Amino acid sequence: MTPNTQETWIILGATSSMARAFARSVAQDGAAVLLAGRDMEDMQVFALDLALRGAILAEAHAIDMRDNTGFAPLIERAQQEEGQISVAVFTGSMPPQSEIDDNPELIHGVIRDSFTGPAEFLQMIAPEMETRGGGQVVGVGSVAGDRGRIGNYVYGAAKAGFHTYLSGFRNRLNRSGAHVLTVKPGFVDTAMTWTVDGMFLVASPENVARDIRKALRKKRNVIYTPFFWWGIMSIIRSIPEFIFKKLSV
């Protein structure tokens, strides 16, 4: 953040480990932070922590990606602040694929949490960002969105859709001076992955947050974090389908 320029960050999915690490980093730069999520008690305590770390404003706001009635009030609150408005999207849900196979109705929640909910919020706030002529968007997707795998293809499909949405959204906001960053994390030490078997090369939320901040400074469009996931996913994407469908990856 440049001197004398206020930035307000809306953090969607603010109780996730990655969101917390990112929020701490922008708070230390003196940004205003609007935490958005479902656990108000947890976010209110965290807001106090952010204020102590240097945030000029830290508030908690109840929001649920499956219920858009909370979207407009949050956007209206952000509009009361001066300077640029930025949004970081950390929302998502990943029930075990086996549970989805047993109960296909779970698909609706996965898609809403991981793609259509945040996309709707971004569509609603886009005109304000365009009017102000700047701001940043961090859209956290997943390496799972690069190719459908038997272990989490519904979650991967949701994130793939979000990646494509962010690409088009980046094209739109670029015309007004705003920037959109797509983040594709590999395995990260978060509540979403604690019960997943076969985890390897697990990154800390703090390292992911540092990669995001570095990418924002450099105006990167898409990053993998940690960086070596770019190579891993390049190999996975290159495997012919007739071979890939026989693999248990």
Cβ atoms < 10 Å from Cβ of 6 = 15
| Domains observed in the chain | 7-244 (3.40.50.720)
pLDDT score for 183: 98
pLDDT tens digits, 135-158: 999 999 999 999 999 999 999 999
DSSP label at 8? E
Global pTM reads 0.92
Q: Is the model's pLDDT at 196 over the cut of 70?
A: no
Residue 188: pLDDT band with limits 50, 70, 90: confident
DSSP per position, 68-131: GGGHHHHHHHHHTS-SEEEEEE-------HHHHHH-TTHHHHHHIIIIIHHHHHHHHHHHHHHH
Among 143, 136, 121, CA closest to 234: 143
